């Protein structure tokens, strides 16, 4: 009998699958093209035995670089992020995304400096910059930082993206990739409306990504759309054909266990129209102000990533 491909294998025929995890065993099992990390994932992985040597390496490196406790924490945190990224790159053929400290989300110059430092650390370790994406929160300041970094040959992944204005500004800045957060958009609508369940095609997170995808293709933007933050496989299935999807190990498992047909839902039909006038800061900020969901989720996401970064630093401080 012919082997029936799983939904995961079907998805891989028209979408690049990215692992939304820093777990080495999960990455080795699911063989994604790329992988992405953030402070929350780093916080989880440093307690795993497979990362013990990387943790010790990062602490030793920080001690040798400075006698300042404050600087040692910064150095250990940056080195750990890069060390985990290097480990992931041993397993994936593509890229790893490494995140700029969320506490710099409203400081363009500091975000640029941190990104250049992280890329420099990768390059010092023999990793070329074309294998790393720098993750930045999709604030106006983050978009401005990304525009300059892209000019300097450092490609970016715009995260915590919820509003259409964030997507438009990112594309106009020439960023390599955006990560619209499907599940977190749905979470907000479930919490703030009378609707507690959505069919995939009516899911507001799915609809947001579809709108962005169509806009990018129609207007000829090269920025990659990578759906992220999924809550169920229905959301993934509804976005089959999106440029990339970053998926957690449990949902990869669910897709791999199903042999049902998975039709392509998104594709570029080649239609092109003239781009509208560029978005400026005032229009960006007004659009965010008018979108309660996007404003709430962006602020919440920055707070949570910042809290996880502080917790990570607390754990590192205990070891220094």
Angle made by CA atoms 304, 308, 314, in degrees to the nearest 5: 145
**3 bridge partner residues:** none
Are 235 and 15 in contact, with CB atoms under 8 Å apart? no
Distance CA 195, CA 201 (A): 14
Distance CA 152, CA 300 (A): 30
Are 54 and 83 in contact, with CB atoms under 8 Å apart? yes
Are 200 and 234 in contact, with CB atoms under 8 Å apart? yes
Token readout for 136 is 């930045």
Total Cβ atoms within 10 A of residue 258: 15
Distance CA 42, CA 55 (A): 11
Helix ranges, the chain (H): 7-12, 24-30, 39-45, 52-65, 69-89, 108-124, 140-151, 164-172, 182-192, 204-218, 233-238, 249-256, 281-290, 292-319
Is 65 marked active-site? no
Token readout for 225 is 């759309």
Catalytic residue among 114, 135, 217, 297: 135
**Crossing angle of helices 52-65 and 69-89, rounded to 10°:** 140
Are 212 and 225 in contact, with CB atoms under 8 Å apart? yes
Are 159 and 263 in contact, with CB atoms under 8 Å apart? no
Which residues participate in catalysis according to the annotation?
135
């Amino acid at each position: 009998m012919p082997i029936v491909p799983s939904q995961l294998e079907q998805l891989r025929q028209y979408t690049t699958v990215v692992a939304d995890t820093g777990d080495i065993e999960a990455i080795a099992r699911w063989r994604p093209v790329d992988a992405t990390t953030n402070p929350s994932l780093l916080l989880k992985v440093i307690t795993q035995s497979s990362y013990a040597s990387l943790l010790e390496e990062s602490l030793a490196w920080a001690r040798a670089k400075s006698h300042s406790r404050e600087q040692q924490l910064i150095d250990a945190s940056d080195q750990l992020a890069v060390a985990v990224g290097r480990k992931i790159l041993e397993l994936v053929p593509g890229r790893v995304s490494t995140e700029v400290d969320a506490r710099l989300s409203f400081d363009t110059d500091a975000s640029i400096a941190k990104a250049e430092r992280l890329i420099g650390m990768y390059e010092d370790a023999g990793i070329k910059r074309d294998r790393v994406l720098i993750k930045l929160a999709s604030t106006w300041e983050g978009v401005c930082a990304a525009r300059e970094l892209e000019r300097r040959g450092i490609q970016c992944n715009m995260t915590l993206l919820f509003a259409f204005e964030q997507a438009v500004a990112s594309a106009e800045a020439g960023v390599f990739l955006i990560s619209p957060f499907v599940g977190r958009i749905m979470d907000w609508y479930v919490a703030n409306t009378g609707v507690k369940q959505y069919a995939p095609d009516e899911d507001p997170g799915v609809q947001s990504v579809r709108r962005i995808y169509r806009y990018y293709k129609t207007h000829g933007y090269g920025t990659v759309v990578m759906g992220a933050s999924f809550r169920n496989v229905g959301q993934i299935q509804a976005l089959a054909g999106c440029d990339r999807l970053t998926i957690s190990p449990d949902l990869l498992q669910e897709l791999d266990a199903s042999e049902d047909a998975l039709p392509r839902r998104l594709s570029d039909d080649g239609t092109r129209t003239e781009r509208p006038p560029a978005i400026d800061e005032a229009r960006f900020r007004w659009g965010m102000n008018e979108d309660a969901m996007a404003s709430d989720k962006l602020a919440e996401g920055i707070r949570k990533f910042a809290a996880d970064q502080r917790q990570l630093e607390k754990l590192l401080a205990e070891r220094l």
